[in-house]
Structures are given as C-alpha cells and as structure tokens.
Amino acid sequence: MNVDFTTPEDELWEEFNQAATLPARRVEILYSFGHREAWNFPIKEPMKYWMPALEMARENQLVREWVEVTEAITREYIMNQHEYELAIEMANEGLGLIPELAFDLEDRVSQAHLTWGKAVAYDNLEKYPEALAFFNLGSRMYANVGNDILANVLASASAFIHTQLDEHDEAENMLPAIREFFIQKEDLARVAYCDLISAIVMMHKGQYQEALELALEVKSVEKQVNKLDSGTLRWVAKAYFYTENYGEAVAHYRQAIKMASKKPDRDYKDVVKATLGLAEVYAAQGKTKEAAAARFDAKVMDKRLKKPRLTNSAKAIKEVEQLRAKGEYDLAIQLTAELVQESSEAGDISLRLRAECEHIITNFLKEDYEGVASTWEAMPRATLELHDELVIKIKNMVCHSLAKLGRVQEASELNNQVLSDIRVAQNKQEQAYAFENRVEIESDPNEKKKHISYAIETNLEAQNPDRALKITRKFRDQY
C-alpha cells in the first residue's frame, strides 16, 4: 500500500466516509493515517488507525493489505509498546496469510520482514535460541530477495545472539565476512557494531584491556556518525568494570541510563540492564547501600515493563453504567478516565474505545458538552466505525454537543454523516434524534419544518409518543 503524507486529513476522511469508497481504499487511508501518527511527536498512537484497518482487512479478506497491516502492527508492538508476545502473534498472523513457498516478490519480502519481527521479539523476551533461529532464517530470506544489506544486518544480529548463548567461537567466525561487507558499503555504524561484538567476545576470553580499547574505538566511531546508543555505553562500562576502573564504569553506566531514559526513544530494558550493571560496580566497591538501591530501581523499572493485561473490563464498564443510573456522574467520569488511561497503557484499543464512548455518554447526560467534544476529538474514530451498536448513538450525542457549543458547521457535517449512514435506519430512536439534531442545526425554515415532521413521525415509529408530543408542542407556534 502507498502511504499518503500530503493529502489534507479532511479530504481523506471525506473519501473514507463516502459509500462508494472500496474497502481496500479505506484500509489504505487508515494505514496512511497510522504512519502519519507514527511521526507525531511526542504522542504517537498509530494503533488507533492500524487496528481498525486490520479488522477491515480481515472482514473483507483483503490479503495483501492484511499482510502489510500486520507488518506495521508487529513493528509498533516491538518498537514503541514493548509488547513482544503480541508482536509474535501478529507476525504469525501475517505469515499465515503467505504461502510457505511464496513466488510473489511482495510476499517474500513480507515474509522476511515478519520473520525479522519475530526474531527481535524473541530477542527482547530473552528467548535466544528462538531469536537465533529466526534471525538466521530472516537473513536467508533477505538474501533470496536480493537485499544483501538486510541479510547482513540480520547476520550481525545472529552473531550477537551467539554471544548471549555463550557460543563465542560461532560469533567470532561469522564477523569477518559481515564486517567486510559493511566496509565495502562504507557503513561505519555497522562496522562499529561488528567491532562491538568482537569486544564482547574478547571480554569472554578474559582479554579485558583489548576489549576496552576496541569498545572505546566503537564509541568514538558511533559518536562521529551520530549513532552512539545506550547499549554501546553499557559495554564500555562493562569493559571498564573488568579492568577495575570503577569510576569510569560508574560514569558510563550513568550515561547509558540517561541516554536510554530520553524521549521519544526511551528504552526501559536498557535502563534496567545499565542499572543492574551499576549495582554490580557498587558491590565491587563495597558500597552495599548504593548497590541495594540500584537493584531496587532496576526491579521497579522491570515491573514497569511487564504491563498487566486488563481482564475485568466488562465488570468496569458495568460499574460505569451503574454509577450513571444512580446519577453519580462525577464518579462515572472518573472511572471512565481511569479506564481510558489503563487501556491505552495496556494496548487494548477495543476497551479504550468503549471507555471513551462511556465517557461521552456520561458527559452528555451531565450536559457537559465541552467534555463530550474534547473526548470526541481524542478518540480513535476509525475504530468507532466498526462498532455498529455505538457509532450512531455517539455521533448523535457529539452532534448535539457541538451545536450547543456553537460549532454549527462541525455539527452539520457530523449530522450529514449520520443521516447518510445506512445503519441509522436500524434504530428508529437514534434516527429520530438525528432528525431532531437537524432541526436544531438547520437555518432554512422549509428544511427545518420538514425535519420536524420527520422527527415526530420517527419518534412515533420508535414507540416514543411522549417525545413526539414534546416536539409538537415545542414547535407548533413556529412552523
């Protein structure tokens, strides 16, 4: 699929909402919105577009689009959400759509991308045998599609995994060919990474001074090409530790922690590793209190990495409904706000949407129209379109709120969406509310009179004569 970074958002949404727009194009629009969101600093929430794109691709059996969306979601789970088990599940879903012996080049490239994703996820889960198997497989896949650069990138990752498995000879044997390839490509950062792995092998062999010298060279090269990362600083610190230069070891571990803690690419796993390394240095210095404090900090951070999945979401939504029925709107709003936050942290897009809908309903009943509008602006609207039982009701409430706030043009556009949606006829009461909204928005007296009649008739069809009578009384002296 093509990623569109230039077409105005309003134009894309207008195209998305047209009845004639094909499902494949709608998926592509959501896919583009997700990529735009991925570059939206400091808040990046591409999943609010990619998850509904995934559902749409599944529902319509759009295999190529389906595969490409799984690639994007796998990458997002790994790079930003640190949900490695979910990344493996998503990669497996994508791989399951591609024939094992694929002939189509796009399919083979996707196989390689998704296999790479699985390898990285297993690496982060510290399941090194699985990571090694998929890095090796991915490297061969890239070679088979003519992408020698990524083939060697994954091969270097395999060499590193060998060090984690204490297979240092295997790592050492792999490195010369990979290093030579990147020298030919003049890719100094990749050459430096090969040298870092060599330094790790040296440390294992007890060649600490040589390892330190090489690690410092790596640090210097990475600084020159603006590629220095916290991982390199950790290994420099480790080399200083082995040479018993504890002052430099502490300084480099602290630098690693500072770098790994920076937004937007914060890496909590590296913070944990560097903090544990710092504890090791303090212990060697006999600083038992400092060592204990560092271990405690690492433990706290490690818990932060293990985000719990929300299992009692249905119970929480039920509690919101009960509070609302009692008229305890403030408590209900507080609970829905907590649910939005927790579901966002847990990566549960479906629960987040439901919580935001409950937030809108509660604010609407409280007549807090600003609260309705602000929640609407923040919520993943593309996901809402997939929920037939909610979409019309929520749009009607938002439309009414926007009109009350004097945002008539926005209210009119949303009301047009509702009245042109085939789902509105499935719920006569919501259809009646939509006609009532039209009456409030419409400035043309003839159109207003016509929609008053529609609202009365539809309320009667919805078996709500009291509301029909209320509308009649309200407008009988005017039209």
Together in a domain, 132 and 27? yes
pLDDT for 82 = 80
Q: Inform me whether the pLDDT recorded for 43 exceeds 70.
A: no
Higher-confidence position of 55 and 344: 55
State whether 315 and 404 are in the same domain. no
Whether residue 8 is found in the same domain as residue 111: yes
Res. 311: pLDDT tops 60: no
* Amino acid type, 339: L
Average pLDDT over residues 400-407: 95
Same domain, 394 and 366: no
Residue 1 has pLDDT above 90, yes or no: yes
Distance CA 271, CA 255 (A): 10
Identity of residue 369: Y
Secondary structure class of 305 (helix, strand, coil): helix
Domain containing residue 95:
1-146
Structural contact between residues 57 and 28, judged by C-beta atoms closer than 8 angstroms: no
- Do 366 and 458 belong to one domain? no
> Is residue 414 over pLDDT 50?
yes
Considering the domain boundaries, does residue 203 fall inside one? no
Are 43 and 87 members of one domain?
Answer: yes
- Please check whether residues 28 and 135 belong to one and the same domain: yes
pLDDT at 385: 72
Closest CA to 340 of 306, 379, 312, 307: 379
Domain-terminating residue out of 117, 146, 175: 146
Report the CATH number at residue 130: 1.25.40.10
Residue of higher predicted confidence among 186 and 302: 186
Pair 392, 311 in one domain: no
Q: Could you give the CA distance from residue 89 to residue 118 in angstroms, rounded to a whole number?
A: 9
**Is the separation of the CB atoms in 62 and 27 below 8 Å?**
yes
Which residues, at least 6 apart from 360, have a Cβ–Cβ distance to it below 8 Å? 372, 375, 376, 379, 394, 397, 398
Other CB atoms within a 10 A radius of the CB of residue 164 amount to: 15
Last residue of a domain, one of 123, 146, 169: 146
Q: Given this model, what pLDDT does residue 390 score?
A: 87
Q: Is residue 435 part of a domain?
A: yes
Residue 37, in any domain of the structure: yes
pLDDT band at 348 (very low <50, low <70, confident <90, very high): low
Average the pLDDT over each of 118-132, 208-222, 347-361, 394-408 and give the range with the smallest value.
347-361
**CA 132 to chain CA centroid, nearest Å:** 26
Residue 221 lies in a domain: no
**Does residue 304 surpass a pLDDT of 70?**
no
Rounded Cα–Cα distance for residues 444 and 22 (Å) = 34
What's the token pair of residue 166? 């204490």
Please compute the mean of the pLDDT values over residues 164-179 and round it to a whole number. 96
Element holding 411 (H helix, E strand): helix 408-419
What pLDDT shows up at residue 468?
87
> For residue 157, is it within any domain?
no
31 and 3 Cβ atoms separated by less than 8 Å: yes
Q: What distances in angstroms separate CA 452 from CA 19, 424, 468, one per listed residue?
A: 26, 17, 10
pLDDT higher than threshold 50 for residue 94: yes
Helix residue spans in 77-147 (DSSP H): 84-96, 105-124, 128-144
Say if residue 135 is in the same domain as residue 1.
Answer: yes
Does 194 fall in a domain? no
Q: What is the pLDDT of residue 278?
A: 95
Report the pLDDT averaged over residues 235-255: 96
Residue 338 shares a structural domain with residue 418: no
Written as one letter, the residue type at 238 is K
Judgement on whether residues 8 and 72 belong to the same structural domain of the protein = yes
* Rounded CA Rg of the chain: 29
Around 437, how many Cα atoms within 13 Å sit in the side-chain half-sphere? Answer: 32
Q: Is residue 366 located within the same domain as residue 407?
A: no
Domain count, the chain: 3
Domain boundary among 113, 146, 179: 146
**Measured CA distances, 263 to 184, 199, 259, 320, 342 (Å):** 34, 29, 9, 34, 21
Residue 192 domain flag? no
CB-count exposure of residue 422 (10 Å: 0-12, 13-18, 19+): exposed
C-alpha–C-alpha distance, residues 384 and 352, integer Å:
11
pLDDT at residue 134, as a whole number: 96
Q: Identify whether 302 is part of a domain.
A: no
pLDDT attached to residue 53: 93
Identify whether the C-beta of residue 362 lies closer than 8 Å to the C-beta of residue 329.
yes
Distance from C-alpha of 452 to C-alpha of 434, rounded to nearest angstrom: 11
Q: Are 333 and 359 in contact (CB under 8 A)?
A: yes
Please state, for a pLDDT cut of 70, what percent of the chain lies above it.
93
What's the token pair of residue 147?
Answer: 């992408």
